[in-house]
A and B are shown apart, each in its own frame.
Chain A
Amino acid sequence: MIGRIVTALRSKLSTDVKTRHDHKSRRVLPVLPAITLLAMLGPVIAGLYGTILPAFGHLPAAGLTGPTLSPFYDLFDWAGLPRAVMLSVGVGVGATALALTIVALLTAGWSGTPAFRFLERLLSPLLSVPHAAAAFGLAFLITPSGWLSRAVSPAITGWDRPPDLLIVQDTWGLTMMAGLVIKEVPFLLLITLAALGQADTGRSAAVAKALGYGRLTGWLKTVFPRVYAQIRLPVYVVLAYSMSVVDVAVILGPNTPPSLSVYIVRLMSDPDLAMRLQGAAAALLQLALVIGALMAWRIGEAIVTVLGHRWIMSGTRGKIDPIVGGLALTAGIVCAFLVLAGIVVLGVWSFAGYWSFPDFLPDQLSGRNWMRFGPGTVEALGETALIAAVVTLAALALTVGCLEAEYRYGLRLSSRGIWLLYLPLLVPQTAFLPGLQTLMLNIGADVGRLPVMLAHLVFVLPYVFLSLADPFRAWDVRMGVIANALGARPDRVLWKVRLPMLLRPVLTAAAVGFSVSVGQYLATLLIGGGRVATLTTEAVALASGGDRRAIGVYGLMQTGAALILFALALIVPAIVWRNRKGLRYG
């Protein structure tokens, strides 16, 4: 499915046929690309604007007018700032570098092998597991009293009570980094797989092999440079996201002090409205940090290129390939295991009666927790599904409209324009969402579901667009010509021929969009003003209460909500096209 996202990247390299069709109904369609860009970038720009003003002391809602630098002075006065900044940068860069390294070495050492295909199949569904659920699962596994410790206690460790070790919420954010890595490895792996198709892997690898290069070294020296060029933007997305993530930081990150993003959210919800000035200043700092990190990453790319050239010229054939490959495979399996076992342990807690350390399983299993929290989750599920469905439909409509406009009128994003699609994912959420909230507050529009939906659309649109664009463009236009020749107008061709044939990619794009919406935490929390309760906001709110049974129920429901559409995307085409063999797999 992510293949679809990345194949969009491929399209900028490809030269496909632009078929132009002239017809009469030139009303809505040609302006759809503009509306789409506005829906995607409008809130980001408005939010940044709404951040900059209060950061310089201008907040009419609190009776404050600027400009002044005092919000920045206040921010720099906070004793926790250096560490909060270090956490944001360290965790973000560390998680991205680690995930990328694992993925690169894993693909280098194992692509094309049965082990790799197995891992690929294991990791694909994990992509849609919401970050918060994965983080809860990880926490339940690795705390000193977690499932892993219970599995070996007291038999191996001799612990009859958990050791007093700082693992979750550790001062350096290592657990938080791990929580991000286990979620970003599946993402980057599937992105890389999609890019592989472009990179002529087979022949390069064969030539390298013939010259006596080890599998892993040969791949890194010949294929990786080409693959990286194509996955660069998604890697930047991972970097920006990891630096500014809030929900994972709340669950796994330290609190003495917290990371910069968590601090921003805290300032934005202080009873003293004047604290929002400092929050806005911190949001601008977060933006600067992300921009700085992206630039540093870019410089790092140049350095790696130079070193890589030297390494290639050195002609080393890769003696330690088996060891490195083994390590990478282990890391990949550990990532998959931690997410999967995390979901299992959420499930066990959701059915647990009394469960003390070091018992591996609860004293009794019962449906009582589900009876207790089930009704609440159903309510939150309704809200979640409503928002996700409306947002996904809107994103699909805009995307199909854009692509159809491109097909009919040749209104196509330039290769530079692809950046615009990534922009909402590259600007840190904590930089523009607080500003958007303040702005909505100023115009008195900050209540209810609709603003939340608009905010979700910002994040859902790019993913839906990137996953649908390529299959849509790859559709055999001769089908359209035939339909035209039979007397169908372009609209009829779209509805009766093209979309039905593209049922599976459309559903896959919908599933991607739906799961992105389900996982949104900050957009729902800040823009909904706490009044829009989705499974994700409820689950993260429960984190502070520490009731693991409730967290288990909510975490499972959240994961289920994100996964269900992927299941439908598999099942529905198989049923609808049960008598059309060529369309069944899409």
Chain B
Amino acid sequence: MKHLAILAALIAPVAAIADPNPADWDAVKAEAKGQTVYWNAWGGSTTTNDFLAWVGSRVSEDYGVILEHVKLTNTADAVTRVLAEKQAGENDDGAIDMIWINGVNFAAMKEADLLFGPYAEQLPNWSVVDVAEKTVQSDFTVPTDGFESPWAMAQVVFVHDTADMPERVGSMQALLEWAQANPGRFSYPQPPDFLGTTFLKQVLVDILPDASVLSAPATDENYAEVSAPLWAYLDALTPNLWREGKAYPATGTAMFPLIADDELDLSISFSPGAASTAIANFELPDTVRTFVLDKGTIGNASFVTVPYNSGSKAGAMIVANFLMSPEAQARAQDPAILGYGTVLDMTAITADERAVFDGLDLGIATLSPADRGTVQAEPHPSWATRLADDWADRYGVAQ
């Protein structure tokens, strides 16, 4: 094993440079040139993968930064890795330079001091970000404090095939009744998949008379009582799920082929434009539309963050800044590409840039921002963790 250690020591480039200062952007640009940035991001969506590849080609052209997409099946893997590196004393050039992150994973990394920064609010493009209207400075109620920079807005939408399910439903209670009348036609991704966990939160937010309790951390005292209606709801829903709840789709995108096959009539997505994008990619029939609940649905921002031990922090900041540029944001919002919501303030960008956004055809299945209703706040991350664990004990182990 000693040989391995020596070999590894030989392979690992020696790097112990002082951290770049995000306020000195010219210095950041100079340092970033030639750096390789390993961006660890969920790799299950081929459209996202294509977008990331495009970002890579653009930052390479403009800044000489080489971007490598490390495709994760679970963002927690990246958190593990940084933690493991810290414990192993790898403080200068870890394997990860940037992570697509939010929620529980960000809270965990921030709390364990695994992040570089604050840097986000010194990035040049921060000036055009919509800090007033969009939740870009708190992540699942946890303040970002500049340790992560936003790049996309997401909101829960329900995806239905109007050929089989012509009418939307307005509440979670109505969804349950519809599922009972149409057994086997709805499913959600298996928690702890983030969209599956979001579905649990969405149920709770919608059926609780007062959801404000969720914005504070869950406690041993209030958890059982607050979550009880959710389990009653799921006990009624589960036998009416696809496959009677004995199997679940692995992720949100895995539900699209099931709709195309006519196995499902209804599913959920965290990206308002994803259905239109999928129609363009032949993955969904063109009869698919989206809707939100009467009271609105949960929304949040997607961020990127830089681990404290990245050896390419300057390069990572270049990428983070590019992601907030009008060019990248307009491309991400194009449903033919990605269909993600923008984080930018439309009044802060130039008229020409705005024209690009206005010119986007959002697609037949995409609701306009005005039709998406109220964006409900994400519960505190402690709720997500507990709900997912509890779900696994109740429904994730066949009795």
Using CB atoms and an 8 Å cutoff, list the residues of chain A in contact with chain B.
46, 61-63, 78-80, 83, 144-145, 160-162, 164-166, 168-171, 254-257, 269-273, 352-357, 363, 372-373, 375-376, 439-448, 450-451, 454, 529-531, 533, 538, 541-550
Contact = CB atoms under 8 A, between A and B. Distances in A.
A46 B251 contact: no
Contact of B80 (A254, A270, A543): A270
A445 B4 contact: yes
Interface of B: 1, 4-5, 7-9, 11-12, 38, 40, 43-46, 49-50, 53, 70-74, 76-81, 83-84, 87-90, 95, 105, 108, 183-184, 190, 242-251, 253-258, 260-263, 282-283, 285, 393, 395-398
A547 B253 contact: yes
A434 B258 CA distance: 34
Contacts of B397: 78-80, 83, 256-257
A533 B46 contact: no
Contacts of A61: 84, 87-88
A454 B7 CA distance: 12
Given A269-B80, A545-B254, A255 B45 contact: no
Contacts of A271: 76-77, 79-80, 83, 105, 108
Contacts of A160: 262
B177 to A, nearest CB: 19
Nearest to A545: B44
Contacts of A357: 260-263
A530 B74 CA distance: 11
Nearest to A449: B11
A353 B263 contact: no
A450 B262 contact: no
A259 B152 CA distance: 36
Contact of B248 (A255, A354, A547): A255
B44 A544 contact: yes
Contacts of B282: 352-355, 363, 549
A272 B261 CA distance: 38
B81 A445 contact: no
Given A444-B5, A448-B11, A531-B70, A255 B263 contact: no
Sort A-B residue pairs by CB-CB distance and give the 3 closest, nearest first.
A546-B254, A545-B44, A445-B8
Nearest to A62: B87
Contact of A145 (B11, B71, B263): B263
Contacts of B396: 80, 255-257
A47 to B, nearest CB: 11
Given A256-B398, A530-B81, A372 B257 contact: no
B388 to A, nearest CB: 12
B67 to A, nearest CB: 13
22 contacts: A62-B87, A145-B258, A164-B242, A166-B246, A170-B246, A171-B247, A254-B246, A255-B247, A257-B398, A269-B80, A270-B80, A271-B108, A372-B50, A443-B1, A444-B8, A445-B7, A447-B11, A450-B7, A450-B11, A530-B77, A530-B81, A547-B45
A79 B72 CA distance: 27
Nearest to B262: A161
A257 B397 CA distance: 5
Contacts of B50: 372
B81 A256 contact: no
A141 to B, nearest CB: 14
Contact of A161 (B83, B263, B393): B263
Contacts of A445: 4-5, 7-9
B15 to A, nearest CB: 13
Contact of B95 (A62, A447, A454): A447
B46 A444 contact: no
Contacts of B263: 144-145, 161-162, 164, 357
A454 B1 CA distance: 11
A162 B46 contact: no
Contacts of B49: 376
A80 B394 CA distance: 10
Contacts of B253: 545-547
B4 A440 contact: yes
B286 to A, nearest CB: 9
Given A166-B247, A256-B246, A451 B4 contact: yes
Contacts of B398: 80, 83, 171, 254, 256-257
Nearest to B247: A169
Contacts of B76: 269-271
Contacts of A62: 87
Contacts of A363: 282
B395 A256 contact: yes
Contact of A444 (B53, B74, B90, B243): B90
Contacts of A373: 46
A161 to B, nearest CB: 4
A256 B248 contact: yes
A145 B262 contact: yes
Given A164-B184, A254-B247, 16 more contacts: A145-B258, A145-B261, A164-B242, A256-B398, A271-B77, A273-B83, A273-B87, A353-B282, A373-B46, A443-B4, A446-B8, A451-B4, A454-B4, A538-B43, A544-B250, A547-B253
A376 B46 CA distance: 10
A303 B53 CA distance: 59
Contacts of B190: 255-256
Contacts of B73: 541, 544
Nearest to B279: A354
Contacts of B1: 46, 439, 443
Contacts of A543: 250
B10 to A, nearest CB: 10
Nearest to A447: B95
A538 to B, nearest CB: 7
B260 A355 contact: yes
A62 B83 CA distance: 9
A531 B11 contact: no
A162 B80 contact: no
Contacts of B78: 530
Most chain A CB inside 10 Å of its own CB: which residue of B9, B261, B263: B261
A533 B71 contact: yes
Contacts of B5: 443-445
Nearest to B71: A541
Most chain A CB inside 10 Å of its own CB: which residue of B249, B251, B262, B285: B262
A184 B45 CA distance: 32
B243 A166 contact: yes
A441 B244 CA distance: 42
A82 B84 CA distance: 30
Given A61-B88, A441-B88, A447-B12, A546 B80 contact: no
B247 A354 contact: no
A553 to B, nearest CB: 10
Contact of A533 (B70, B95, B242): B70
B329 to A, nearest CB: 22
A529 B393 CA distance: 28
Nearest to A60: B87
B185 to A, nearest CB: 8
Contacts of A165: 243
B8 A546 contact: no
Given A271-B80, A448-B11, A541 B43 contact: yes
A79 B253 CA distance: 29
A196 B378 CA distance: 66
